[in-house]
Structure 1
């Protein structure tokens, strides 16, 4: 039964949760390793630091029995989980009852927490954490009363990293209210603009050359063709001897470039849906240095994702906390991260198969598990394939188990698709563990033909029913 929506109740509960965390003596902050986990964990760290409260941090890729035992061994009487814990509440409930535990999360919880656990979760207040609050933006509401620019920015970055910034609408619900509050405080500048990655940091030619969402046939990957395209459309690429970025263009030049890209996309048969998504809400943090990834929410989120997914989560937190030298080190990692993604997309273009209810990419041995979900999403959104079905991709994780990632579109979700349910049920049928959000989810199973066949068969059945491709009910 769905709970009645209570936004004010959520915001009051969130602030009380933040105050509870600030009253702790020396908590252990356990956070997920992706962008939203790093953002929310760093928000908690910033809040505790502002009040002089000591703390320790621990990053996890997953929360299973092994990680719970590691957390138990820390022997901490106070634990704060962020972007993880609700979906694994059965495991968190086995921690000692005398432990003071707080969970800040946006994933649905399968059962109630023990009395020693305070869980701040939008789902408990009738607010959908899949689409309108991430862990980062939930953490923002916990500490909104501190009126911190850095906390607001990380709330936005976490939600962007968790794909809650939709092309047609931008943020919705409480995410939108967060941005409106930040805009009033002049902590963020919001505008409708071109959404390509690299708007702030990349010179214009490279900005187009490395575009992947959408993939522009004849331009993406061809630096010479991009230079000629800009020249033919009278778009400057230099100011004096300095290469300029997209954000250096004036409003008339930006409109001209967007118009030229739309016409080019039409000439290359990109769908109207893909072309409409060229432009959407963008979020600039004008107090951050120019030409810095931290100035643009999308670039900031990608930077944090690259840290987390390459076993450098501590570096991502250091960037968020403005530690000296951290940004420069993370920028080097981001460069390698983007190279891996470009290689992965090229592989996906040649090897993705249409298997009926979904597209299937078997990238085991070719694309690392740390970027397989990003590659699947980027290829899915590239305009190369019709987005009338989700994509499921296989890779190997560090233990040689099969890591599975699924990505979809908002239109498919509105038709009934829920990849979180697909991964959870198909993963369980195959003896693995899965879950996530309706639009992006993942699973890990044994690397055996039997487990993989069971997963694919079950996933097919669930997707067919969700999208009403079959009349039967599972």
Structure 2
């Protein structure tokens, strides 16, 4: 990472902080953020900054900043607005409707347009950093918070959670994310450990942890509940405690953990799995948290995502800020989210097996038009899960669609294998240019909102565009 780039970025953040400090404490700050884990983490950081500066504030969480949203927000009786994880792709809307207002935009999506003079626009892309891999919106908000007051460095863990939620952790961080992680570690907010590459080390029952071990295939165990229970007994790790409750990995003794790791490696080795010892990854532990949903940063980010996707973003913000009552409700929301995922995936599997016209397959694409059968806020999650499914070959486009209540349709695009040289955001932008709508996202996770009556046309244009690709 170039020190010159970082200094330029820091200078812009300091100017933004100086501008922000000029606002009278009697003003109410209008805060708008995105509904995913990164957006919720970003909003939580800004809220803590506002509270420490004794500002009052009003918060809204949006799925996407459409032109009508910008117009409605600008008509509200506020003078100062902060956009997190939104805005860089909608500068034309902000310029058009927020004249005479003071606006701060902290985003990491690709920039479209140039901000007017009343808009303080902070985006890493304008300083040579990749916002899809080197820093998330929560990271941008954290660096702004740090520029406001170094005491805000104690919020670094929220930026790490946001980056993980935005899938920017690839067995380590790079760029500005790495700098932020180092701050979080130095402040004692994050502890980095080597651990098994399994999701749910803190909360899932051991046998379920192994049954769902899609990231490290364990022959005879992965996808096999009874096989997982039998495996644990074979290696001398009792899956049930003395009270008859299922045990979690976090509750094992050190000796049991070692037996489990050795058992997994030997099981993979015996089955001829390539690189059988490749079962470890970085685990980001929040040492101030008790074992549970908030101790592992990856599990924390999933919980935040669940809150946002089900319209409970305020619970996610409360969880980030340590509100115990909100945390209990957030855990309940996570359980509802898991049920919604199961329901959505069952719908998909049923329609694939029945040959439904809602699932369109081509040489290098699969298009899923869920219409009203899957929540629009969930369709991106479903597309991501399908794109990571081993049933599909690499370089297959996964386009999913679901309807919003306002006669628009949410579109999400992913690709299996995440090949180099493919920019999904540019593909979605091209489709939107042909059909109409608004596009956004990153290289490997992009989306759009289109009019529902344009679904058929959008699908036909997408098929033609995908078929022209040679990845």
**Cα distance change on mapping 1:268 and 1:390 into 2, 3 Å:** farther
Task: Single out whichever of 87-96 and 147-156 deviates more from structure 2.
Answer: 147-156
Q: Is the 8 A contact 2:250 2:291 kept in 1?
A: no
**What displacement does 1:457 show?**
4.2
* TM superposition score normalised by structure 2: 0.87
Match runs of 1:251-290 below 5 Å: 253-254=256-257, 256-258=259-261, 260-261=263-264, 279-290=280-291
CA contact (8 A) 2:33 2:61 kept: yes
Q: Would you say how many aligned residue pairs link Structure 1 and Structure 2?
A: 457
Q: Which residue of 1 aligns with 2:341?
A: 341
Supply the distance in 2 between the matched residues of 1:186 and 1:402 (Cα, whole angstroms).
Answer: 44
1:78/1:268 Cα in 2 relative to 1: closer, same or farther (>3 Å)? farther
Gapped regions of structure 1 (runs ≥ 5) = 470-474
Change (3 A) 1:219 1:348: farther
- Aligned pair 1:391/2:392, yes or no? no
Aligned-pair CA distance for 1:353:
6.1
State how far apart, in whole Å, the 2-side matches of 1:50 and 1:269 are.
56
In 1, Cα distance between equivalents of 2:431 and 2:324: 45
User: C-alpha separation between the residues in 2 aligned to 1:385 and 1:375?
Assistant: 14
Cα distance in 1 for residues equivalent to 2:231 and 2:383: 28
CA distance in 2, matches of 1:19, 1:100: 14
The 5 A counterparts of 1:412-451 are 412-414=418-420, 416-448=421-453, 451=454
Is residue 452 of structure 1 aligned with residue 463 of structure 2? no
Q: CA 1:44 to 1:268, structure 2 compared with 1: closer, same or farther past 3 Å?
A: farther
Q: Secondary structure at the match of 2:180?
A: helix
Give the superposition deviation at 1:347: 4.2
Check whether the contact 2:219–2:267 (CA below 8 A) recurs between aligned residues.
Answer: no
- Counterpart CA distance in 1 for 2:360 and 2:216 is 19
Moved more, 135-144 or 56-65: 56-65
Structure 1 segment 301-316 matched on structure 2, within 5 A: 301-316=301-316
Question: Quick check: 2:106–2:140 contact (8 Å CA) kept in 1?
Answer: yes
Preserved CA contact (<8 Å) 1:213 1:379 = no
Among 137, 140, 143, the alignment partner of 1:141 is 143
3-state SS, counterpart of residue 130 of structure 1: coil
Question: Secondary structure of the residue that 1:314 maps to in structure 2?
Answer: helix
- Which has the higher mean CA deviation after the structures are superposed, 310-319 or 145-154? 145-154
Aligned to 2:330: 330
Q: Is the 8 A contact 1:22 1:53 kept in 2?
A: no
Aligned to 2:156: 152
Q: Could you tell me which residue of structure 1 aligns to residue 230 of structure 2?
A: 228
SS in 1 for 2:294: helix
- More off after superposition, 63-72 vs 326-335: 63-72
Say if 2:18 is the partner of 1:12.
no
CA distance in 1, matches of 2:385, 2:261: 20
Change in Cα spacing, 1:221 to 1:21, as seen in structure 2 (3 Å) is farther
> 2:173 aligned to 171, 174, 183, which one?
171
Work out the CA distance in 2 between the residues paired with 1:79 and 1:279. Answer: 43
Secondary structure, in 3 states, of the residue corresponding to 2:378?
A: helix
Match of 2:250 in 1: 247
Q: Could you say if the C-alpha distance between residues 258 and 443 of structure 1 is closer, same or farther in structure 2, counting changes exceeding 3 Å?
A: farther
Query: CA separation in 2, counterparts of 1:375 and 1:193?
Result: 27
Go from structure 1 to structure 2 and tell me whether the alpha carbon gap of 1:316 and 1:196 turns closer, same or farther (over 3 Å shift): same
Give structure 2 stretches of 5+ with no counterpart.
353-358
Measure, in 1, the Cα distance between the counterparts of 2:224 and 2:69: 45
Structure-1 separation of matches of 2:449 and 2:219: 34
Q: Is the 8 A contact 1:106 1:135 kept in 2?
A: yes
Q: Does 1:82 align with 2:84?
A: yes
C-alpha separation in 2, matches of 1:171 and 1:461 = 37
Q: In the alignment, which of 188, 191, 198 is matched to residue 190 of structure 2?
A: 188
Map Cα deviations across residues 353-405 of structure 1 (whole Å, 9 max, x no partner). 65222233343344322222112212322433333333222223334543221
Q: Distance in 2 between matches of 1:188 and 1:432?
A: 41
Q: CA RMSD in A?
A: 3.0
Q: 1:130 Cα deviation (Å)?
A: 1.3
Cα distance, 1:39–1:221 mapped onto 2, change above 3 Å: same
2: CA distance between counterparts of 1:401 and 1:266? 51
Using the TM superposition, give the Cα deviation of residue 114 of structure 1 relative to its aligned residue in structure 2, in angstroms.
0.3
Deviation sequence 1:275-297 (CA, Å, 0-9, x none): 89853222110101222x22111
Larger deviation: 149-158 or 352-361?
352-361
1:296-326 alpha-carbon deviations (Å, 9 max, x no partner): 1111111111111111122222222223410
Equivalent position SS for 2:97: coil
Quickly say closer, same or farther: Cα 1:458–1:417, change in 2 above 3 A.
farther
